[in-house]
Structures are given as C-alpha cells and as structure tokens.
Structure 1
Amino acid sequence: MHHKNPWGIQLLFLVIIITQLSISESFGREINLNLTEEEILWIEEHPVVRLGPDPYFPPIESFDEYGSYIGMAADYIEVIENIIPIQFEIVKLPNWEKVLEQFRSRKIDMLGAAAENDSRSEYMLFTQPFIQYQTVIVVKKGDTNKLTLDDLEGKKVGVASGYITHDYLKLHYPGYDLYPVDSIQKGIELVSFGEVDVFVGFITTIIYAIEEGGYSNLSLAGKTDLNSPLAFGVRRDWPELQSILNKALAVITDEQKKSIHDNWVHIESERLISNRKFQIYALFIITGIVLVISFILIWNQSLKKKVLMKTSELQNELKQREAAEKSLKISENKYRSLVDNFPGIVYRSQLDKEMTLIYISNYIFNISGLTPSDFIERNIDVFKSIIHPDDRISVEETIDNSLFLKEPFEIIYRINHSDGSIRWVQERGQPIYSNTGELVFIDGFILDITDLRSVEEQLIQTQKMETVGTLAGGIAHDFNNILGGITSTVSLMEYTIEKKQTIEPEKLQEYIAILKQSGIRATGVVKNLLYLSRKHEMSLSTVNLNNVIKDVIKVCQYSFDKSIRLEPHYTAAPANVFADSLQLEQVILNLCVNAEHAMTIMKKDQQKWGGTLSIEIEFIENIQDFVLNIPDDQHMQFWCIKVKDEGIGISPDEKNEIFNPFYTTKEHGFGVGLGLSMSYNIIKSLKGYIELKSTPWEGTVFSVFLPFKDESKKREIQSDHSILRKGIGRVLIVEDERILGIAAEEMLQTCGYEVTLVINGIEALEYLKNHAEETDLVFLDMLMPEMSGKEIMMILKETYPDLKVLLTSGYRQDSRVLEVIDLGVKEFLQKPYTLKSLSEAVDRVINQA
C-alpha cells in the first residue's frame, strides 16, 4: 500500500494546474491533460525518470561533442518536460545493446526512441509513436539491381546490433549471414569499403550518416516492408508513466511536430533554389558564351580525374589497412603462441574495484584444472578461491605491499588443484602505470615449482636428520644423566625397603621431586628431538625473531657440550619478519651447531674445548653498510641475527666454498656439507642475505639479514584496500556451525544489513514461507545435517526462483559444491572468509541485475 500524503497531492495538483496554465499561454490554446488522481500520485512518487538514449542514432537521438542529449527524440522530451512536472535524468551508455541491458535490469526507466516487437513487449510498454520511417537497403554504387529482404541470401548483411532490423532478420531469415555493428554509421562505412554487401536500416538515419560521412559511392537498392514507428519505451511495471506520456504527446500540435522534424531532416530547399538559379544562369551563359561550356566540360573532366585519383588513394589506403590488419593478426598469433607455449601462467589483472582478470593463459588448466574462461572477466576472488587457505593472507599482503610501495613482487604459495592435489607455485608480478602515473594493471607470471619444492623439502629433511645425528651424542649424554638421576633414586628407595627401614616423609618427598624433575627434563629432550626430525610444510607469516631464538636455545641447552656458554640477546620490542618460523629455526640451529663444533670437536688435541656462543638481534637502517653487492635502489630496513663463536675460524680460501652443497671441513661422521647450503637458499628465498666474518683461531660471526616487517605500514595498506561495502537489505544465514553463524551475523549487521540466522534447512524453508518477498539474499552453507545445501538449493530454485543465493564452503572444487553452483547459485565464497571478502560478495550478489 502506498502512503498517501494529501497535502503533497494537493500541492502537486496545484503545480500541474499552474504548469498547464503556463503551457496553455505558450501554446496559445488551453491545455488540459486530464490526469487521474492515480497519475498525479505517481508523479509525486516518481519526480525523476531515468532515460537511456541510443548514443549513435542521429538524427533521432545521440550526444553531441559536449555530451549533451540531442536529436528529434530529445526535442520531444524537452517539450514534454514543459508540459508535465517530471524531470528526465539522461543516462549516457556506450551503445544500444548496453542501453537495452540496463533497461531490462531496471537501472534505467525509459527509452528515447524504440520500435515495438514481440520480444520487447515482454518487458516494455510503448507510447503512441511520434516518428514514422521506412526501412531501406543500402549498397555500393554499381549494383543496379533492385533488392528486397528476400534477395539477400548469400550476401553479407550489415545490421545495427540490437535494433529492430537485427531482431526481425534473425527471426524471419535465420539462414542469412548477418554482421552486427555498434551503430548505423559503422554499417555505412563497411558498405562503402566493401566489407559487407548491404546494410539494412532506417532511411532517415542512413541519409544522415551518408551526408555526415561524405560517402559518394553508396545508393539505395530498395525499400522493405518493415515499417518502424518509433515511440517512447517505458518499464512494464509503470503503466501510469505510459498513460501520462501519451496524454502529453496528444497535446503537441502538428506544427510543433513539423518544426521538430524539419529541424533535423533538411529538405535542402536552399540547395534546390541555388540549383535553379544556377540553371537559369547557366542557360543564359550557354546562349551567350559557348566557351563556358567547353570550360565546364574540361572542369568536369578534371574533377573526374580527381575523383578517380581519390578513389585510387582510398583503395590503396584500404589495401594498406588490410595489410596492416593481416600483419597485426600474424604478430598477435605469434605472441599468443609464445604465451601459450610458455611453461607457466601469464596474466593481466585490471586495477578496477573488482581487480578483474582480463587475460590469463591456458597453462592455468595444468596448475588448477580450470580453464581460462573460469577466470577471465571475473572478480579476482575467483582466483583467490583456489589459493590454499593458509596462504591467502600472505598473498594479499604481498600484493598490497607491492601496490603501496610501487615495486614488483615475488611470492611462493600453494594452489588447490581440482583433482584434490596441491601445487606449489612461484608468482612474480609488477604494477603497470599509465602515462599520467595512474595504476592501471598488474602483469605477471606464475610458475609450477611443485617438483622443485619436493626435492628441496627432501634435502631439508635430509639436513634435519643430519643435524639430529650430529646432536645425538649430546642428547644421549644428557638423557643418560637424566636416567642416572632416576635409577640412582630408585635404587636408594629399593635398598631402604629391602632393609625394612622407614622412609621419612621429607625424604620420600625429596625422592619424588627428583623423579618428577627428571621426567620433565626427559620430556623436554624427547620433544626437541621430535621437533628436529619431523617433516613440515612451509607457511609464510609474520614471525618474531625473539621467539625463534628462544626455541633454538632450548634445543642447544639439551644437546650442546657443557663447555659451551650460551648467551642470547633479545630485543625489547617484537623483531618481526615475514618467513616460515620452522625453516628460520633450522637456519639458526645450523649456524649454532657449526659454532659449537668450531669450539669443540674441530679443535686440535691439545686445545681446550669450549667458549661463548652469542646470538643477538640488531635493527639495520641501511643494508648497504653491511652487505656487499647490494643494488643501489635497495633501501629496505632489515633485522640482523648475529651468531658469534670463539672457535677455530674459517680461512679465506674456505670462505669462497663454504656455501656450496656438500662442502665441509669437518671429519667424516660430523656432517655431509648440506647445512650452510640449505640455510643460504632459505634466506635467499626470503629476500635476505648471509654474510660471514672470520679470523682463523679467533672466531667467526655469521650475520643473517631479513627484511623488516613493518606492521604499521601493513595497517595503512589494509585501511586503503579494505573499505567495507555497506548496503541495505535482508539476509538469511543458513549455517549449522553456531560460532561461524554468529560471526557472519555480526559481520553483516556491521555492514548495515538486517540479518536472520537459522541452523538448518528445515528452519530456513519455514522462515521463507512468511518472509520470502522481503528477503534479498540467502547465505547458504554447503554441508549441514538433516538437509544438505544441494537439497535446499533445489527447493529454493523451484519455489523461489528469483531469490538470490550466495554459497559458502571450505573447498570450492568439491564435486558437490560444483553441482550446487550449476543449480543457479549467484556466487561462491570460500571459507574462511573475512569481513571484507564477505561484505564484497554480499554487495555483488544483491546488486546483480
């Protein structure tokens, strides 16, 4: 029910009366629209109507060089605005097909000039026609045959895409070779250049296009039976506007209509008058001066030569254009072949709001099992959905940081293949800027490094086991000490019991404390041993170096020779880097093991074992002061971990070989030379550096430099790229996991939506029985007890076909998920999702046409 405002209706009625009095005065006669109360109320509720003109339909309607709406339809609209109190908001769109698309989705309300047919009548109402024109066939001069629509079989027929002529020929002549173009002007150009045989369109617009383009090699080959009266097109749910416009059109006089017509369709009487004067003058001259005739004949001959020359130039230009297009096509095919044969993915992403992928090469199928069409012209979230959930945040942070710093990026992460396997990939990308400095694209490539990663993980595991073997002696010694404490305490207790002596409570408490402490120490040794030997999948995240050093120190305390003094130095504030914490611990432990060996087993027999092993963390402002061969543009801040020992040192010759695989200066049984090589590669992959300084028989310092992780900059970047998309509407959440459901409910409420949460499909269907019309979106979980997401979706599709559904699940490539998507789900959101990704997905689905 509409809420009627009696004062508003009376005021509007008064405005209409005053408007009609004013119009009556300007028209010179009394104007009475006879608007009904319902029509007056409708105008009150719809003071602005969005009108979408055809941008390339002169002289009926178009836009001038300043973007103003012009043409016969525009003049009619101007007259109607003076008759009824409605403002027409002109919406400029790129072409007629886009206009129809926006009209069907009701993003515009009215069309300036539309011809009626059966398909359009399904979604459009038409006013009384105000323009009547014949449809004709245009050919190149030289074709003297008169043509009808039945004679066009076997010819290449140009038509304006989406026009009534296009629809008519598709319906009644389905076998014809139709060539749709964006505008009538383009179609005329194609006929002139011989790229199509004929063009079918409105006579007025065709004549206008020929005159504007100066085409002298075209002629009309015939008229058709397709008469196309043009009228205003109105939304089908607005019959009131149709009636109001008809009443306004009815009061426009024939004189006004003729004036509008003559303003745009020139009879060119002036030219005819001019021609008559010329004929009289020519007759007068001919009778008096014969030489003038000769001169005219010579001039005509000269003009003919010029026309032939101009025609020849145009033909040469056409040949050059065809040659250029052919060359361009060959070049395009060559580079496309190179890209398609490249053993990796090549992509380009547009920096619009959705970060739309506008190109991705065929190799995406090898890595993901999906085709390029699954990604091209789609939101970047589609690609994010195949990234391993544990890696998504690090990928987003890396790209955001690259855009913020305006520099290239490189990252290694995992992709979920549709067959369930996981692929390791290495991506390198770079922001692309326009001449004005505006960020427009991200270009990049992605390599499949799964096999390389597998070999690296095997080498790392081998080196881990080498470290375990190296530390085994120290661990065994410490474990024997622990067992010694246990066995000696137990033997004392056994002896006391055998002698039938009483163990005092204090003494018993002491024995229990020794056993308990020994058990705790043994647990720590076993835990560290398992920690060292276990396999691990790399996962990059923000890592505090203080925690890394603490974990390494725990291992060293249990396994190093007791002559080694450990001196860790920590920072007061977090020392954050972007790395894999376990790999980083492996690097530092390798350096510590080497330091311990340099102070013990690698010393000569007469030298005393032991010394101080210090580990400290230091903030470095300028890396170039510490590391050689750094690029001049490398100004990043770094954290430095220094591992310093008092061992035998490294000679200058050994320094050059120290990071090579399988190079070692230790005796057989104390390592195979993989530790420093693997450490070097791990730090390099993190965009870091390792430097060493050493003096023989005095000691060595290994310095590990890792890029500083600026959390404040991260927040700044996130605030720039994480703007919430707020909206209005009602969302029904169907989620059986209570915690997830409550979180989603609070997220959407934060975004401005009204939210109802249910825990299963039965409750959802019960709710929709009474609230389907007011529900804008169903946010549906896939896997639930009692009734699955697929079962719910099938019922929704049958019972509420217009209801929009956003599906969520933990894995998109699940065959069950793909089946539900095929049932008509508007979009899929991968779990886990953030407030930003949820707000974007809901906004996209609710605002879809």
Structure 2
Amino acid sequence: MTLILQRLVDVSVLDRAAIFLVDEEQAILYLAHAVGAPADYIKEAETYTVPIQKKSNIIARVARTGKTELVDDVADSHINKKNPLIKKFQPQAFIALPLKVRGKVFGVLVGDQEKAGGKVISTERDFLISFSNQIAIAIHNAHLYRKLEDSERQYRELVENAHEGIWVVDENGIITFANQRLSTILGYEEMLGRNINQLVPPDKKRILLKLLVQNMRGLVAQEEIQMLCKEGEHVSAIISSVPIMDGERYKGSFAMVTDITEKKRMETKLLHQQKMESIGTMAGGIAHDFNNILTGVLGYASLLKHRLRDQAETKRFIDIIETSSLRAADLVRQLLAFSRGTQPEDLQVVYPNRVIRETTRLLESSLGKDLQLEVDLNQGLPPIAANSTQVQQAVLNLCLNARDAMPNGGKITISSAAVALGGKASSQYKDLAAEPGQYVRIRVADNGIGISQEDLDKIFDPFFTTKEVGKGSGLGLAMVYGIVQNSRGYVYVDSAEGNGTVFDLFFRVAEDKDRQQSLRRLTPGLAGEETVLLVDDEPMVRDLGNEILRSYGYQVVLACDGLEALEIYESRGADIDLVVLDLLMPKMGGKDTLAGLRKLNPAAKVIICSGYGARENGLQKLMASGVNLVQKPFKPEELVSAVRQVLDGETGTKEKNETTSLSGENIAVQS
C-alpha cells in the first residue's frame, strides 16, 4: 500500500499522502500508511487517532458522511489550526476522500500540498476520487485475501491436528491431500500420489470400491475396513467419505479415517472375558451336579471295598470304580478351578521362586532326556497374593504343554521377574488393560511348534485341545486361566507357528491383608453314638451318608429338604446333636434352612455339604458364623472326621487341597 501511495504522489500534484482506517470497536480512525514526510514525522503521526464522532475534524466528518472534502487554502479556511497534524505538517492545501466499498466507509485517503498553489488540488479532484476508489478496492481485496489466508490456515491447522486421518482423492482414487494423522496411522512418510487401493489388503478392496461407488452417485458413505500399513500390519478403521461434485460430475472424495484398532481390541478382550465368565458359571454348575453323582459312586465303592475285603476279584473291580471316580473328581476340581475365576477366593502369601523350585523337582522325572529345562529366577522377589498349590499346578500345566509341543526335543525356560503393569508402565502388555500396580511375572517359554493365530483366541476355552484323542482333556490351560484370574492376575501369550510359545503369568504383589491364619488339622477318633440329622435332596447322597455314619456308630435321622428338616428339628431338636445340611436343595435351600435352625436353636451345630469351595457362593460368611464345610465329593473318613470334629467342639473346613499361610510358609491340608 505504501508503494501505491508513493505512485499517487508521483503522478499527481500532491506532496504527501496518507490513509486512515476505521477501527469500529473503538470508533476511531488511525494512521495506517503515509508517504512524503520524514520518517520521524510519520512515526509521531502513527500515535494520533481521530474519534469518528468528532464533528470539528474533517477526516472524521468524511468517514461519517462518505463525502469528499477539499481545502484549497488552509490559512484562509475555518479549519482548526491547533490540530496536532496541522501544526506538525503545516499543509497549504489538502483533500480528504472516503474509502468505501458497497457504500460502507472503512477509511479516508488524505493528500496535501506543502506550498500554496491556488486551486491546484481542485483541478485534479476527479482524478483523485477515481484513484481513491481503486485504492478502496485494493484495500478491500487485500483484507479479503488476508481473511481467506487466516481461514485457510485455521482449517489447515484443524485438519493437520485432527484425531482422524484425512485424505482428498481425485476421480481416479489418487491422493491429492493427506494430513499428518493419516501418515501416522498407516506409517507412510509421503501419501500424495498414492492410489487408495494400495492402502487396503486385496480381500478388502471390494469394501473400498463399494464406498467410492456410493460417492460417485453423490452419496455420503461410511464403511468399517481393515487397512494396510507400510510395514504390512493391519489396522481397523472407519472411513467416512463425502463426494466432491462439480454439478453432477464426480471429481473426487473427501474422507475421514478413524483408527478403531484399540477399540476393537478392547471389545474383543471384553467379549472374551464375558465368554469365559459364562463358561465358568456353566462349568461350576456342571461340577456341582457331578460332585453329587461322584459322592455316591465313590462312597458306595469305599463301603463295598470295606465289606468285601476278602473277595479279591470283586475288590479289584471296586478299586477300578474308585480310581475312575477319583479321576473324575479331579476333573471336576479342574472345572471348579476354572469357574472360580468369577468369584475370587481369599489369597495367601506365596513366595514364587519357592513354588517354581518345587515345581521343577516334580518335572525332572516327567520331561524326558531330550528336553532341557532352564530356570532363571530373579532373586529378592516380593511375595505374591495367590494359592501356592494352584500356582504350582498352573506352572506344571504350562510346562507339560510345552513338553507336548516339542515331540523331538527342545528347551523349556521358567523365569521370574518383578514388573509394573498398567498406565504407561509397560507398553508391551497394554492389551492386558491391567490394574496399575506391582506384579511378579512367572514366564514359561518353549521353542516348540507354536500356536496358530486362529487357535490363540480359543486356547483358554474349556475342552479345547489340539492334541490327539485321549492325550488331553482340554482343561489344562482353562485351569491356568482360572487360577490366575482367581488371583486377580493376568495371562499374556505370545506365539506363532514354528516360533515357540511364551506364557506370562502376572500375580499381584502380596499386601499385609493377604496373610491368613492356618487351617487346623484333622483330629483322630472318629466313632460316636450321637444323633445326626442328615439333610440332602439327592437320594443317593442321603443314603450314602446314612450308611457311612451308621457304620461308625452314629444314629441318623434323614430329611429330603429344608422344610422336612425344620419340622423334624422342631419336634426332636433336643435329641439331635448335629445337622449335616446340603447347600443347594429345592423348596428350601441350605442357607434358609440354617436360618430356621438358628431360630429354633441358636447354638445348633451344623455342617454344610457343598460342591463349591469354601470361598464361593457366600459360604465364607456362613463359616464365619460357626458353620463348618465338607466339600463334595467326600470319602467316608472325611465326612465322619468333620462330624467328630464339630461334635467335639473343634472347628475346621474340609476343603480339597486348601492352602494357607503360617508365618509366610504355605501348608497344604489334605482332607
């Protein structure tokens, strides 16, 4: 603009020229540009402002009225001679012309002569008016251009900083614009000139084509699609594409690409957890029913063996029945170990390295000479909150799986380390979505055949196995999953076909609250003459209990449900020394029956029989109130031992393979 003013001075009779622009917010005019005067004069004039409403000021009046004002002779005019600009520049004549577009004044062009020259300015008035109109248009266009630049910059910043990737493609699918986010998502440094067909796997191109066909019809389209990164990895994305049309002619598309890979991963993880919880619930229910069946089979087998001890051939058959029942009971315990992931038991303090060493001693005889076992333990690890027997079982299962994955020999490595999970602690395990904190990692790695990607999603499902028929129940890894979940821990698997497998088990570092009192051991002396009320809805279990207790000298009263039990106790309570009560029954369950018994006799001695563990199904609260537990399936000695213990005033829970801590040591109580 300074150059334009200088050109005006050069081609006209003006000695100096300036432009004052309107500041609408402050309602003033300020000096924006000036030529023809010394630099210090101009700098001083830049501090001068004119209130638009000042009536005595010619510049303000021109801005208000939009009309040109001409003063041929300042000395002979009524102009204010004390005006700072007049005093400073001492013009002999000057002209003020409005700068306006579409009738709106946005500035004033001022020109003057230093020497008196009659009416020279007036003779060029029309030229100056025409020139001022051109200046007004130039200033207005420059203002619009700046606004356009500002708008473009804002939109570019918005596009470049958007969370979504953005592309613009022409009618042939060639990228003509791509923001930085798109480059980040796909890993390419330069996106321009690429065909978007190159950005999706071959089997997904039909989805992209469907989206573009919609755009070509002038329609907005959205598709979920797998996209191909530079390094060959896939990302899940949602592409929302808008057509760019020239009338009815398709010229290209503007699309936003949202990376939903992490969202899909979390959804998959959530669905897997829900599936495992559902399977666990089902497994727990099945296990409970099987326990009732096995209680009868195992109990009667034991009674028969006792009565037919002199008949060798018959005893051999009974031994087979008993062995098979024990194997089935072990299978049920594995199911329960898996299902307990939805209802965590109280945990004990366990020293992981100690458990690993004990496990390796068990493995020495079962791995074979062609397998190498390497142990790398990080010393000084903190104790974990877990169950030592279950942790040992989990590690043992993983090692046996590793053995089976290396039929021609190989190496199994068991290691331990302290790690932090959650938040930004470990990007390697971000898929776990772990609760932030300190954990101990137990790793079992092998260099065997590995696991296919297809099977990785199913390896923890109960009864899923890739082994030959008869060589695996499909419960090993399901039990590992249940054990770790039961400990509020996490399992991470890294495997690929032909590249071996790594299982990482993460257990929480133990806190003081995880320490528990030890369980008391069983006491000898099982026979008695007391009266026991036995309550169970399963006839086989009820009859078995009757046979067992009577064989040890006890008097037995039978009830098939809770209602019958309460009727019997109300009429004969004084004669009944102990109640053995099934937990799950129709009509009235064990808990309600117990409440009824306590109303009749707050001091009643009660044993609960259940296929659930001591920490499940609300049993812990019952036990805290003085109720004892016998876990199904039980052997005759286990039931009678519990009866004798309670009658003698002892307390103790008869749960299979229970562990606890005593001064940091883990003790297994075999019932």
- State TM-score, norm by structure 1: 0.22
Q: Which has the larger radius of gyration?
A: 2
Which is richer in strand?
A: 2
